[in-house]
Structure 1
Amino acid sequence: MSDKRSLLPKADRTPWTPLHAKLHRTIRSRHLFERNQRLLIAVSGGQDSLCLIKILLDLQPKWGWYLSIAHCDHCWRSDSQANAKHVENLAKNWSVSFYLRTANEPLKSEAAARNWRYQALSAIAQENQFHCIVTGHTASDRAETLLYNLIRGTGADGLQALTWQRLLDNSILLVRPLLEITRMQTGQFCQDFLVPVWEDSTNQDLKFARNRIRQNVLPYLQENFNPQVESVLAQTAEILQAEVEYLEQAAYQLRKEAMVTSTGEEGNLYNPYSIKLNRRVLQKAPLALQRRVMRQVLQEIIQSGCTFEQIEKLIALISAPNRSQSDPFPGGAIAQVQGDWIYLKQL
């Protein structure tokens, strides 16, 4: 098979590999997409995103999707324009619409690049009436994210790592269909179908923490503990995702109950400076739910996110003596105990 043949549009070739079957089943069983949807595929040019778009193109006749490719040029590398042109040429060969967004200036961190990328993709989706943005995150990415968050310090929410679907601010759905497929599998797929992968040199740069996990930590764990560590960690994240969803719902119900006032009227769940919580209701609940309630409350007060220590300050007030109060939280709010109630007030 020649390189030219590997780039022929889907209509000229009808492959059906175990990876095609797996993704088809995943999309159907998890209800990731509907038939005839408009899907915007984020394609970097690396093996994961190219594997994703190739399989979706092959599945397109069965689902009737309208597929387009979006590429985000972060301007990190001297070859970034050539990278973008490579993806554009692939889109042309596959007869797929192509959208390009280029950063005005080089982005200084992974977090800044990620935020800009999602904003750019969301803007493209909104402007062109796409229902979903689809990314090529794999089980390997999920394992790396779990380890990265664990090392930094997190609860179950951080350990659930990447989720199958996430609603973005503009109500566009972000979907990750490859979370049960490893990077080794996407690489083998691209080799088998002669899909021309663009090698990103920044993936080898060990100044990035995720690259150190990918290049050093995971190979060490595979060699010395479990050859299937990526899949096992991804499965752990999947288990935690379901448990986190359940706990969040239970905590929200507990919070509603704890915020009912003495006259039977519910407190304002969304005004952080009129919140009061019934300590007697909270005392009956397990510690895990108490912590989640306090975190939900603090997230409305502290826009940058709350810490474990700040949550524990509120937890201590559930059983503290009357008239106890917390130190000020970022932004100036304090929590005070008055009888059966914890009041959160802005100073």
Structure 2
Amino acid sequence: MLEASLGDVLRADAGGRTPLVLVACSGGPDSLALAAVAAYFAQTDRCRVGAVVVDHGLQEGSARAAEGAAAAARGLGLDPVEVRRVEVRKDGMGPEASARSARYAALDDVAARLDASAVLLGHTLDDQAEQVLLGLARGSGTRSLAGMPPRRGLYLRPFLDLRRQETEAICAFYGLEPWHDPTNQDPAFARSRVRVEVLPFLEDQLGPGIARALARSAQILGQDADLLERLSAESYRSLRIDGGDGTLLLPEDGLLALPAALRQRVLALAALELGAYQPSFERLRAAESLLDRKGSAGPVQLGGKVSVHRQVRGRAVLQGEASYGNLVLSSNRSNGPGVKQSHRPTQE
């Protein structure tokens, strides 16, 4: 399981050094079990294993819990082991998203400084099922419903096929006493409600295989999302025109020739290149409606202060005749002529 996840990471680099793998360890059952398995694996001398403990400072006693997790990791033989305290900023995101952003920033920093080959995350099949249910509740698209990928860049999730009770059994086998984060039971958080109330209810009503079925759906959708993203990236490269001064142009006829699933992704890629955050489905549909050539020519706000409007190419034509030009995407720093831009922050 772990060996399959690490793959090429286990090979020594060109300098002959044994690769360093870091475990993101909170001290909870999942990450502590992962640290124990990784420590055992390191005894083969095919890799070195260290740990990073992130203290979010969001609750009383968090520093003590972080030091306890670090001590447990050192007791397993992991080296180096670092504790990083982060500041969770209130920047418009929810508390869970803000904490996640701060956590990954810390993990990125430590991994880069220590030249780590991989960072292991202890997410389990139960976490994956919860992620899919949250995505369904939000009305999300394919990528979100695909849940968490087994690998993204340096980050690996070798426990996505394990249930939470199995990680607890691993901790018991090694005589470890994991820390249980009280926020995991706090109904103020949506994920906690899904974990404590929604998923147990579904398993009671639909059968104990619901979590595994949701995780299997995520795996299937992940393959679909990978293909759609590859095709949309190819389409975007073929259509994208640099309009100068930070604007991007997308030919209307080229967009209309695409299936809706690719067309919306191409529009999103253009918005993201200009610095927007991921546009919602409703905003992408509003941008797509500009291609109907009915009503307003825009602008449509795509989020992150990026807008799109329709531009007619060439000379005017008689009313009712076909006319194709470009959709023009721009940010507030590069408004097209005659385009009135709203400076109010967009709400998703």
TM-score by structure 1 length?
0.81
Unaligned runs of 5+ residues in structure 2 are: 12-17, 313-322, 340-348
Q: How do 1:183-262 residues align onto structure 2 when only pairs under 5 Å count?
A: 183-259=164-240
Q: Which residue of 2 aligns with 1:10?
A: none
* 1:317–1:106 Cα change, 3 Å: closer
1:327 aligns with 2:299: yes
1:125 aligns with 2:125: no
- Counterpart code for 1:154: S
Q: Provide the secondary structure at the position in 2 that maps to 1:206.
A: coil
C-alpha distance in 1 between matches for 2:283 and 2:198:
31
C-alpha distance in 2 between matches for 1:165 and 1:141:
15
CA deviations 1:204-237 (Å, max 9, x no partner) are: 1111110000000000111101311111111111
Q: How do 1:129-140 residues align onto structure 2 when only pairs under 5 Å count?
A: 129-140=115-126
TM-superposed deviation, 1:63: 5.8
* 1:198–1:106 Cα change, 3 Å: farther
Q: Provide the secondary structure at the position in 1 that maps to 2:195.
A: helix
Q: How do 1:253-292 residues align onto structure 2 when only pairs under 5 Å count?
A: 253-259=234-240, 267-268=241-242, 273-292=246-265
The two structures, once aligned, show a CA RMSD in angstroms of 2.4
TM-superposed deviation, 1:56: 1.1
Q: Provide the secondary structure at the position in 1 that maps to 2:2.
A: helix
Q: Provide the secondary structure at the position in 2 that maps to 1:53.
A: helix
C-alpha distance in 2 between matches for 1:141 and 1:156:
18
* 1:89–1:324 Cα change, 3 Å: closer
C-alpha distance in 2 between matches for 1:253 and 1:274:
20
C-alpha distance in 2 between matches for 1:202 and 1:297:
38
* 1:282–1:85 Cα change, 3 Å: closer
Q: Provide the secondary structure at the position in 2 that maps to 1:212.
A: helix
Unaligned runs of 5+ residues in structure 1 are: 1-21, 168-172, 260-266
1:111 aligns with 2:97: yes
Q: Which residue of 1 aligns with 2:310?
A: 336
TM-superposed deviation, 1:320: 2.3
1:102 aligns with 2:85: yes
* 1:332–1:114 Cα change, 3 Å: closer
**1:76–1:106 contact (8 Å) kept in structure 2:** no
Q: Which residue of 1 aligns with 2:19?
A: 37
Count matched residues. 309
C-alpha distance in 2 between matches for 1:87 and 1:124:
17
CA deviations 1:21-63 (Å, max 9, x no partner) are: x433x326xx373333211111111110011111111122346
* 1:305–1:203 Cα change, 3 Å: same
- Percent of paired sites with the same residue: 26
**1:313–1:326 contact (8 Å) kept in structure 2:** no
C-alpha distance in 2 between matches for 1:61 and 1:32:
18
C-alpha distance in 2 between matches for 1:206 and 1:32:
41
CA deviations 1:144-164 (Å, max 9, x no partner) are: 111112212211011111111
C-alpha distance in 2 between matches for 1:32 and 1:314:
43
TM-superposed deviation, 1:78: 2.2
* 99-108 or 63-72, which deviates more: 99-108
C-alpha distance in 1 between matches for 2:267 and 2:237:
12
Q: Provide the secondary structure at the position in 2 that maps to 1:101.
A: strand
TM-superposed deviation, 1:324: 5.4
**1:70–1:98 contact (8 Å) kept in structure 2:** yes
C-alpha distance in 2 between matches for 1:225 and 1:178:
24
TM-superposed deviation, 1:180: 1.3
**1:40–1:70 contact (8 Å) kept in structure 2:** yes
Q: Which residue among 64, 67, 71 is the counterpart of 2:53?
A: 71
TM-superposed deviation, 1:301: 4.0
TM-superposed deviation, 1:104: 4.9
C-alpha distance in 2 between matches for 1:283 and 1:192:
59
* 1:220–1:326 Cα change, 3 Å: same
C-alpha distance in 1 between matches for 2:245 and 2:296:
19
Q: Provide the secondary structure at the position in 2 that maps to 1:220.
A: helix
